[in-house]
Structure 1
Amino acid sequence: MKSFTRFYLAGFLAVTSLTALPSFSHAIGFNIGWTGSGGYSMTGMFSYSDALINTGAINGSQIDTLMIDILLNGVSQGTWNLADGQGPGASAFNFNFNTTTETFLVGGLSPGLTGQRWNFMANPGVGFISGNSAQSVNIDGTSFGSVSITLRRLTATRKTAPPIPEPSTFLLFGTGMLGLLGYAARRKRQGQIQTTA
């Protein structure tokens, strides 16, 4: 009986200690969309820590990932991944996003707080720019698909994440499992007593 009580207590403490651990940040992801002129478009994705949700403006130093694919009439012309760094000849990287409104900050100069420059003018390479008057993509150092900034074509759509069980769910599950183990141990012990009697 004493060993069973110790086993049950140890299991209970292990499960309850899991619920006391600090919560870890998870990434929140967005799909990128942009439609330019002449059949040019861009798709992609980026992510940042969910600890930044509803904190307002963030910049390139606060994102975890950024990947883009430049398309002409739906056919990929090239991709770029921030993890690979800027390409040769690219302008300084600039990324600005509002985590409260979940929109890109655009309308200002491309190197400013309301502009975007993602691997722009890399040669070879692809990139994107959003300045105070227009947005466009580049392929191997040449700009294509320019559209007026007033059209607001750069979009971010939040990706849906699978639900994550809350700590209380784990506690309930763990307590139930410990109860089943205790019941099984008791049945086993009673079976041994009956067979020896």
Structure 2
Amino acid sequence: MNQLLAKIIATAAATTTLSVAIAQQAQAISFNFSWQGDGGYSAQGMFGYDETTAPAIIAESGAGATNDLQFLMVSFFDSANNPLQSFNTVVNGVSESPFFAFNFDTSTQTLFGAFDVGGGTGVIGEQFFGGTIGGLLTLNQDVNQVDQFIELDRQDPGVITVTEKVPEPSSILGLLALGMSGVGSLVKKKESGNENGFN
């Protein structure tokens, strides 16, 4: 009986821990974004922030600690959809790119204005994507980290599609169901053992 009680307590503790994790996930919100250039090159990425503390407009620029954005990653692809380069532009609320620019309206869930993500950390050959949303957006490759770059693709007027990334709680709920079914089978096993004269 003590073993059964210990397993029920352990399952209850795990359920509580997972419930806290679900509550914390509800505070973080993340979005996917995508862009397609006129020549077939593309950019795909994801960003996120804490929706409980974020202002109506998230505006970020330059290197260093961000105001609200927790992470931003982006990958670039050629016209045959082959991966080119990927960058973690913002990691744990810190941008390493002095060229970083990001403006997001949290109520309409749209990007606007200046936008610059990707390279910008001083490595020759790295790619970067930016410009003005609604104006010219270009995907470029750096030549000398000063003033020379190769334009790989462009779009004018530039449009970046943003979609909310919906969390998938099914895996967490599945773990909870599995844990509870385990407790149920233990109880049934214990009851059948008692019926057969076992303790």
- TM-score tier by shorter-chain length is 0.5 to 0.7
Conserved 8 A contact 2:34-2:45: yes
SS in 2 for 1:181: helix
Alignment of 1:127-138 (within 5 A): 127-131=128-132, 133-138=135-140
The structure having more radius of gyration, on CA atoms, is: 1
Deviation of the 1:161 alpha carbon = 4.6
Compare the two structures and name the one with the higher helix fraction.
Answer: 1
Identify the residue that residue 183 of structure 2 maps to in structure 1: 178
Q: Residues 20-169 of structure 1 correspond to what in structure 2 (within 5 A)?
A: 20-21=16-17, 22-23=20-21, 24-25=24-25, 28-36=30-38, 39-49=39-49, 51-52=50-51, 55=54, 56-58=56-58, 59=60, 61=66, 62-71=69-78, 73-74=79-80, 76=82, 78-82=84-88, 92-106=99-113, 115-118=114-117, 119=119, 123-131=124-132, 133-140=135-142, 141-148=149-156, 151-164=157-170
| Displacement of 1:80 | 3.2
- State the distance in 2 between where 1:45 and 1:101 align: 19
Aligned partner letter, 1:139: Q
CA contact (8 A) 2:136 2:158 kept: no
Gaps of 5+ in 1: 107-114
Shift of 1:157: 3.1
Q: In the aligned structure 2, how far is the partner of 1:188 from the partner of 1:143?
A: 75
Question: Would the alpha carbon gap of residues 54 and 143 (structure 1) be closer, same or farther in structure 2, given more than 3 Å must change?
Answer: farther
Which of 13, 16, 24 is equivalent to 1:17?
Answer: 13
1:66: Cα distance to partner?
Answer: 0.9
Shift in Å, 1:77: 8.1
- Contact 2:73/2:90 (8 A) holds in 1: no
Q: Which amino acid aligns with 1:97?
A: F
1:103 positional shift:
1.8
Identify, as 1 or 2, the structure richer in strand.
Answer: 2
**Number of corresponding residues:** 172
Residues 31, 162 of structure 2: 8 Å contact kept = no
Q: Compute the displacement of 1:138 (Å).
A: 0.9
Counterpart amino acid of 2:88? L
TM-score, scaled relative to structure 1: 0.62
Q: What amino acid is the match of 2:16?
A: A
Mapped partners of 1:145, 1:175: distance in 2: 54
Structure 2 residue matching 1:64: 3-state secondary structure: strand
Q: For residues 190 and 16 of structure 2, what CA distance do their matches in structure 1 show?
A: 28
Instruction: Give the SS at the match of 1:153.
Output: coil
